[in-house]
Amino acid sequence: MTISFSISSACVGKKGPGKKSIGAVRLIGEGKDDDFLVISDGNNTKSYDAMSPRRGIKRYYSDLYYHIEIDDLRPDQVYSYECLLLKKDEKTYLREDRTTLEISGDHTSVIARSDISAFTTPPAPGQWHSSGRTITFAVLGDLAAKEHSKKTIQHLDRHSESVDAILFAGDLAYPSKDHDNWDKWMDMMSKRDFFSAIPTQIALGNHDLDTYKGGWIYDIDESVEIALAYEHRFQMPQIRPPIRDLASLKGFTTDGQPRDFVPYEYGNAYYSFTFGPSKHIVLSSFSSFREGSLQYEWLLSELKSVDRSVTPWLIVMLHCPLYTTFKTHRHEIFVTEAQATLEPLFVEYTVNFVIAGHVHAYMRTYPVAFSRRNPRGPVHIIQGNGGKAVCEPYHNETAEEWVAVRDQSQYGYGTLELFNSTHAMWKLIKTGHDEGGEFEPNLNLLDEIWVRNQLYVEEMSVNKDWEDNV
């Protein structure tokens, strides 16, 4: 578990963290040994500066971000916590990586403290049946910080008591090279209680790459840094530290869409985690996943290592969809090569759900393998209607045979509830539509369906020559 929080650069100085302060998290659990303090280390304390077009020649200085990793938490337990900024002094406090609790409200070591929040740890893998509860994920993507974005997260906040974790399929803030837009997005999210109470896992979107150069004048032959804010503001469960090389501006369109894979490996780009009965693999659509690449070899190793008797549900999340019924983005290499390279792996290892965004619309497929309905194939979901826009024309007037539900006009998010090893429920949550929009909304649209774990469906041929419809 990682708890992240930030302190304004005005508090620590524009040159980064001061030598006289340090970040910490105090946790309070139910057991007698569950009241402890975890101190940040220098490796997980980050800040950055950049040029933003709106600021002219003035530099942007980010907050100081503390990403504090906490191990050995008890499963299926509520922990209260507060974030602290401490003054360094001669006292050590440390007992291995945890400190003795010698901090009171008026102690001179406390410079600042947050409100007290709380989170619940997931059940232990393989033991979740004894917990007597289901596991629910909220799924959203392509949010931004617009009016419909606020309506989506407001709805999620009101119904967040039943949500255990959030899966965010990329394109968070749409910064457009202006890092103040990242701050606006973070402020919007921080106003909602769920953002400090529910674990959130993110996938890399093309707008999260946010190409950045040290100056404010761009030349097409120049190289730029990528994912600067994305790597500093968040910390996902890392395989190893990120490798981010400079990328040529020639590799991007004028609106920031990459034309080919970018030099970005590990870090927040791709990773995996386990949450109760589910194994999650988060991929980068924009780091190479061609055979032999670092991401491909890592993915193959992850798929081979999954123990489905412990985590019967296998969920993949990435930004660009493998299947789409919409016109836009369908010919990008991040879509076409994913179908050619990733789909055979997803089918072979019986992935249950493939969650994506990128397309500003909603779609759910039937279980599908190699463009044919097949009960052993994954269910593919596009949840790109978080709030940025809903404006995507269909590729064909008649939906493809593998499309179960599609919608081009309404904002929202989805929920995936795991009931046991064999059954889950998917539900579309609608949060609004554009008045006078390009497409007339289908206000009667509903999408709520039981999904049987494909792992337990009768074995069928799923090779590319399979012709029978299911």
**DSSP per residue, 250-284:** GGB-TTS-BSS--SEESTTSSEEEEETTEEEEE--
> Given a cut of 50, is residue 99 above it in pLDDT?
no
Per-residue confidence (pLDDT) for residue 56, from 0 to 100: 60
Output 122 or 257, whichever has higher pLDDT.
Answer: 122
pLDDT exceeds cutoff 70 at 454? yes
Q: How far apart are CA 253 and CA 231, in angstroms?
A: 22
pLDDT tens-digit readout, 223-242: 888 999 999 999 999 999 99
- Decide which of 106 and 170 is more confident: 170
pLDDT beyond 70 at 459: no
pLDDT at 215 > cutoff 60 = no
Q: How many CB atoms lie within 10 A of CB 271?
A: 21
What local confidence, expressed as pLDDT, does residue 250 receive?
Answer: 84
Calculate mean pLDDT across residues 402-421: 97
State phi, psi for 130 to the nearest 5 degrees: -70, -15
Question: What does the alpha-carbon distance between residue 167 and residue 273 come to, in Å, rounded to a whole number?
Answer: 12
What distance in Å separates the CA atoms of residue 146 and residue 388, rounded to the nearest whole number? 7
- In the block, which residue shows the tokens 């503390």? 66
The reported pTM is 0.91
Nearest to 339 by CA among 321, 366, 357: 321
pLDDT of 33 reads 63
Residues 6+ apart with CB under 8 A from 349: 303, 304, 306, 314
Q: Could you give phi then psi for residue 248, rounded to 5 degrees?
A: -75, 140
Q: What is the pLDDT of residues 48-83, one digit of tens each?
A: 988 766 656 578 889 999 999 998 899 999 999 999
CB 358 within 8 A of CB 206: yes
Least confident span in 25-29, 68-72, 133-137, 203-207: 25-29
The arithmetic mean of pLDDT across residues 181-206, rounded, is 96
pLDDT of residue 182 exceeding 60, the answer is: yes
Residue 13 has a pLDDT of: 52
Give me the pLDDT at residue 214, please.
52
- Greater confidence (244 vs 87) lies with 244
- Per the rule left: phi > 0, alpha: psi between -120 and 50, beta: everything else, 86 is beta
What pLDDT band is residue 111 in, cutting at 50, 70 and 90? Answer: confident
pLDDT per position as a tens digit, 85-96: 888 654 434 333
Nearest C-alpha neighbor of 318 from the set 361, 380, 369: 380
Question: Between residues 108 and 405, which one has the greater pLDDT?
Answer: 405
Mean per-residue pLDDT over the chain, rounded: 87
Each residue of 122-143: pLDDT tens digit?
Answer: 999 887 776 678 999 999 999 9
**The pLDDT of residue 130:** 65
Q: What is the 8-class DSSP label of residue 56?
A: T
The predicted structure's pLDDT at residue 103: 44
